[in-house]
Amino acid sequence: MQASTHTGSMPATTYVGIGQIKRLGEALELPDAGGGCSTSGGEGKASCGSSGGPEDMTAEIWEKVKNHPCYSEEAHHHYARMHVAVAPACNIQCNYCNRKYDCSNESRPGVVSQKLTPDQAVKKVLAVASEIPQMTVLGIAGPGDSLANPAKTFDTMRRLHETAPDIKLCLSTNGLALPDVVDEIVKYNIDHVTITINMVDPAVGEKIYPWIFYQHKRYTGYEAAKILHERQMLGLEMLTARGVLTKINSVLIPGINDEHLIEVNREVKKRGAFLHNIMPLISEAEHGTVFGLTGQRGPTAQELKAVQDACAGGANLMRHCRQCRADAVGLLGEDRSEEFTLDKIEEMDISYDLDKRRAYQEKVEVERQAQHAAKEAALADAGALDLADDMKVLVAVATKGGGRVNEHFGHVTEFQIFEVSASEALFVGHRRVDLYCQGGFGDDEQLPSVVRAINDCHAVLVAKIGACPRDELAAAGIEPVDQFVGEFIEKAALDWFTDYRSRIQRGELVHSPRGDAQIRQGAFTGMAAAA
- Per-residue model confidence (pLDDT) at position 438: 62
Domain holding 214: CATH number?
Answer: 3.20.20.70
Is the same domain home to 310 and 374? no
Residue 319 confidence (pLDDT) = 65
- Residue 268 and residue 270: Cα distance in Å, rounded? 5
Spatial distance between the Cα atoms of 336 and 341, rounded to a whole number of angstroms: 10
Residues 369 and 510 in one domain: yes
Contact 164, 189 (CB under 8 A): no
Q: Domain tally for the chain? A: 2
Q: Which helix (H) or strand (E) holds 276?
A: strand 275-280
Taken in order 274, 278, 282, 283, is the CA torsion positive or negative? Answer: positive
User: Residue 196: phi, psi to the nearest 5?
Assistant: -85, 115
Closest Cα partner for 66 from 82, 80, 45, 52? 52
End-of-domain residue from the set 291, 322, 337:
337
* CA angle, 109 then 521 then 169, to 5°: 25
The three-state secondary structure class of 150 is helix
Q: What is the pLDDT of residue 101?
A: 44
pLDDT at site 66:
63
Same domain, 457 and 489: yes
Question: Based on the domain organization, do 126 and 71 belong to the same domain?
Answer: yes
Instruction: Tell me how many degrees the CA angle 100-215-145 measures, rounded to the nearest 5.
Output: 25
Residue 332: the pLDDT is: 61
507 and 387 in a common domain: yes
The verdict on residue 256 lying in a domain is yes
Q: Give the span between the Cα atoms of 501 and 423, in whole angstroms.
A: 13
- The mean pLDDT values, 10 residues at a time, for the chain of 531 residues are 35 35 36 40 46 61 65 67 86 82 47 80 88 84 88 93 87 95 92 93 96 96 96 96 92 93 94 89 77 87 86 74 63 69 78 79 79 75 64 92 88 89 83 72 70 93 92 93 92 91 90 84 41 36
Q: What is the pLDDT of residue 143?
A: 83
Residue 456: domain span: 361-530
> How many C-beta atoms surround the C-beta of residue 19 within 10 A?
14
Q: Do 396 and 482 belong together in one domain?
A: yes
Residue 442 located in a structural domain: yes
User: How far is the C-alpha of 266 from the C-alpha of 47, rounded, in Å?
Assistant: 12
| Distance separating alpha carbons of residues 195 and 271, to the nearest angstrom | 13
Looking at the fold, whether 92 and 178 belong to one and the same domain comes out as yes
pLDDT score, position 8: 36
Q: Give, for 469, the enclosing helix (H) or strand (E).
A: helix 467-475
User: Do 9 and 97 lie in a common domain?
Assistant: yes
Same domain? 125 vs 173: yes
**Is position 223 within any domain?**
yes
Closest CA to 206 of 255, 268, 249, 256: 256
Closest by alpha carbon to 224, among 210, 239, 204, 238?
A: 210
In a domain, 275, yes or no: yes
- Contact (Cβ atoms closer than 8 angstroms) between residue 141 and residue 82: no
Return the CATH number at 431.
3.30.420.130
Residue 107's beta-bridge partner residues? none
pLDDT at residue number 73: 63
Domain end among 321, 337, 353: 337
User: Whole-model pTM?
Assistant: 0.71
For residue 346, tell me if it sits in a domain. Answer: no
Is residue 218 in some structural domain? yes
373 & 447 share domain:
yes
391 plus 292 within the same structural domain: no
pLDDT at 189: 86
Shared-domain flag, residues 331 and 385: no
Q: Is residue 347 part of a domain?
A: no
Give pLDDT, residue 118: 92
pLDDT of residue 34: 35
Q: How far apart are CA 71 and CA 185, in angstroms?
A: 18
Structural domain ending residue among the three candidates 305, 337, 369 = 337
Whole-number Å distance between alpha carbons of 302 and 81? 29
210 within domain boundaries? yes
Strand 459-461 to strand 441-442: parallel, antiparallel, or no bridges (unpaired)? unpaired
